[in-house]
A and B are shown apart, each in its own frame.
Chain A
Amino acid sequence: MEKFTVLNGVVAPLDRANVDTDQIIPKQYLASIKRTGFGEGLFAEWRKDPGFVLNQPRYKGATILLGRKNFGCGSSREHAPWALMDYGFRSVIAPSFADIFFNNSFKNGLLPVVLSEAEVDRLFHQCNAFPGFRLVIDLERQTVESTDGALSMRFEVEPFRKYCLLNGLDEIGLTLRHTDEIRAFEARRRSQYPWYF
C-alpha cells in the first residue's frame, strides 16, 4: 500500500448524498480476475451523462473527491475503493461515511476525511467558484487547507489507522513486522518436525 503523508490535489465535487457502492462500481464490472482496472467502471452509469461532474475538463486529474453524507453505503465490495483509486482519487472528504466502505478504504490506502456539514458546504462553494480549486491534506498534522492558507480545518483519525497509512502498512505489511518471529518459528518447526517441509 502506498504511503499517505501529504496530498496536494484538485478537488472534484460530487454533490449528492447517499452515494452507494452500486453507483461507485456497478456489478457488471465485478467479474474480473484483477484488483486493478476498475477505474473504467467508476460511476459508470452516471458517467453516461455528458453533464456529469467527472466528465468536466476542469476536474480532470482530480485526486480528491468531495461528497455529501453517508458516502459509500450499500454492499461490502472492496471494488468500490479499488475503483476510486484506480481512477485517480486518493482521498474522499464527506460529512459521514458508511462503515464497511470506511474500513475498506483504509485497507487500501484511500483516506476518508470526515468534516462537519458546515465545513463541507464551504468547500462546495469554493470548489464551484474557483476552477482548479486545490486542497492540501496533511495526515500527520490532520489538517485540510486551501493552497492560499485562507481555509484551514482539522479532522479526526483513529491513531492506529493513521500510523498504517503514514507508513504504507496494509494488513500484510503489519504482519510482516513480525518477520523475524515467523522465521524463527519456522526454523524451530522445521528442525522439530521436518516432515512438514
Chain B
Amino acid sequence: MPQTLYDKLWDSHVVHVEEDGTALLYIDRHLVHEVTSAQAYEGLRAAGRKPWRVESVVATADHNTPTTNWEEGLAGVRDPFAKLQIETLDANIKHFGAKVYFPYLDKRQGIVHVIGPEQGATLPGMTVVCGDSHTSTHGAFACLAHGIGTSEVEHVLATQCLVTQKMKNMRINVDGPLARGVTAKDVVLAIIGRIGTAGGTGYAIEFAGSTIRSLSMEGRMTVCNMAIEAGARAGMVAVDEVTIEYLRGRKFAPSGALWDPAVAYWRTLKSDPGAKFDREVTLDAREIKPHVTWGTSPEMVVTVEDTVPDPDKEKDAQRREAMERALNYMGLAPRTPITHIAIDKVFIGSCTNSRIEDLRVAASVVKGRRVAKNVKLALVVPGSGLVKEQAEREGLDRVFREAGFEWREPGCSMCLGMNPDRLSAGERCASTSNRNFEGRQGPGGRTHLVSPAMAAAAAIEGHFVDIRRWT
C-alpha cells in the first residue's frame, strides 16, 4: 500500500493506539524555551517525576530576551518578569538536565527553530515538538514537527510521548522556476493567499514540486514555518540530496560509522508513487510575485503590483465586515496601491527569515544606500549567535550599519511584542515575521509581512517597492 511521507512518519512513531484512534506518539526531539516550560517543569516537580529522556531536550531562551544591552549581562534584562523566566529556565535545566542548553548570552543561543537545524539537532525522520506553534519549521527536514501547549510539554517531558490523533494528508505542489526577486517567503504567502488561514486545518501538509526542490534548506524552512498560518499544525518536505548535504558534518548529526546507514534510511523519507492525499493543490511558480500582507491575518495578502482590496466588492457580509475592520485597524484606504504605503519601521528577523541567506539577500539590497528619512527604526536581528558570527565574517553587519540599520543580538525580537522590541500604536512595519494579527508586534501596531528583500527595499525607499525592479 503506497504511503505518504506523513503516513511513514506517523507509523514509525506510534507506541499505542486506542479504539477511537487516539495514539501515543513517541517524541525524538523536544525543543524547550523559557516562556512555555516553567509550569511544565513545576508540574514535574510537584508530582515527583523526572524527565523520561533528558537527551531528547535541546533548550534555549529566545522569546522574552532583549536584543540589546548584552554587555550588562543579566542586568540588561530590564523587565523583571522576563528576567525571572530566564532564571527559571536556567534553574530547570540545571536541575533536570538537557542534551544541550544555550542560555541567554551564550554564543550559540538563538531562536529555537534556528538553533535546532543549524546544530544538526533536527534530523529527517524525527518527531519534533516544542511549546511554540512555529515548530512546523523543522518539517523542512522531513520531520513530523508540531507545536504543543504547556500541559503537553509536561506530558512529553514525563512520558516521552504525545497523545494525538492522526491528521489528513494534503500535498501542495509548486512547480516551475521562480522569477528574480521572488523568494520562498513569497511562495508560502501565495499558498496562504490561495487556501486561507484555515485551509490546512486538520491536515499535515507536504510541500512538493520542482520549485520546492529548488529551494535551499533555509528556503524550505521558511515555507514550513508558515504552514501553521495556513492552519496546518505540521508541514513537511521530503528528503533529497539538498537535505543530506546540509546535514553533513553538523555538530549533532550522525558521523563516522552511523552516517551511511542514517542517510540510507533518510532517503526513504518521501511519499511513494501513487500515495493517496485527501487534498491536493497546485501552484505555478512563474505566476508568483512578491507578496505583501495588507490586513490582520496572513491570508489578507496581495502582490506588490496590487492595490489594497475594496470591501465594497466583497459580496459575503461577514468577509466584508472583517475586511472593513482590518482596513480600519491598519489605517488603509481601499484601492491604495501597495507601493504607495509608507512605513515607520522595518524588522528583518524571526524564525521565518533570520538565517544567513536571508541576511545576505537583505544586505545586497541595501549595500551602499541609506535607510529613508521617514523610517524611524530599521532592525536586523540574526536568528542565532552562529548566524551573527557568520554574517560578521562576511561583513554584512557593516553593510547594514552603514545603511543606517541597527544590528542586534539574536532573539525573537519584534516578531511578537513580548520583549522590549515593539511597535507603538499606529506604527507601520515592514516585517519578515509570520503573523500580522491585531497587536501582534505591539498594541495598535500595524504589521505588513514581506520577504527580507522586500523589507530591505522598503527600508531604503521608505515605502513598499517592487523588488524585481531593484537595481
Q: Does B11 have its Cβ within 8 Å of any Cβ on chain A? A: no
Q: Contacts A193-B265, A197-B55 known; A34 to B38 CB distance under 8 Å? A: yes
Q: Point out the residue from B15, B126, B159, B258 that lies within 8 Å of A172, measured CB to CB.
A: B159
B43 at the interface (CB under 8 A from A): yes
Q: Are A172 and B47 in contact (CB under 8 A)?
A: yes
Residues of B within 8 A of A193 (CB): 125, 262, 265
Give the residues from 14 to 64 in chain A that come closer than 8 angstroms, CB to CB, to chain B: 31, 33-36
- Assess whether B42 is in contact with A33, with CB atoms less than 8 Å apart: yes
Give every chain A residue within 8 A of B198 (Cβ-Cβ): none
Q: How far is the CA of A184 from the CA of B16 in the complex (A)?
A: 11
A130 is an interface residue with CB less than 8 A from chain B:
no
In the complex the two chains form, is B258's CB within 8 Å of A195's CB? Answer: yes
A36 to B49, CA, bound (A): 16
Whether the pair B160, A186 counts as a contact (CB closer than 8 A) is yes
Instruction: Tell me how many residues of A have a C-beta within 8 Å of chain B.
Output: 23
List B contacts of A185 (CB < 8 A): 15, 26
Contact yes or no, B262 A195, CB < 8 A: yes
A35, B26: Cβ atoms closer than 8 Å? no
- Asked whether A35 lies within 8 Å of B42 as measured between CB atoms, the reply is yes
Q: Is the CB of A172 within 8 A of B49?
A: yes
Mask, A153-188, CB within 8 Å of B = 1, is 000000000000000001110011010011001100
Closest B residue to A182 by beta carbon equals B15
- Residue A3 lies at the interface, judged by CB distance under 8 Å to chain B: no
CB-contact partner of B24 in A33, A182, A194, A197, under 8 A? A182
Listed stretches B150-158, B231-239, B355-363, B400-408; interface member: B150-158
Query: A residues within 8 A CB of B49?
Result: 172
A175 and B258 form a contact (CB under 8 A) = no
Interface set of A (CB-CB < 8 Å, partner B): 1, 31, 33-36, 78, 170-172, 175-176, 178, 181-182, 185-186, 189, 193-197
B interface with A by C-beta (< 8 Å): 15-16, 24, 26, 28, 38-39, 42-43, 46-47, 49, 52-53, 55, 81, 84-85, 88, 123, 125-126, 151, 154-155, 158-161, 163, 253-254, 258, 261-262, 265
Interface pairs A-B: 7 shortest CB-CB:
A195-B254, A33-B38, A195-B262, A175-B159, A185-B15, A172-B158, A195-B258
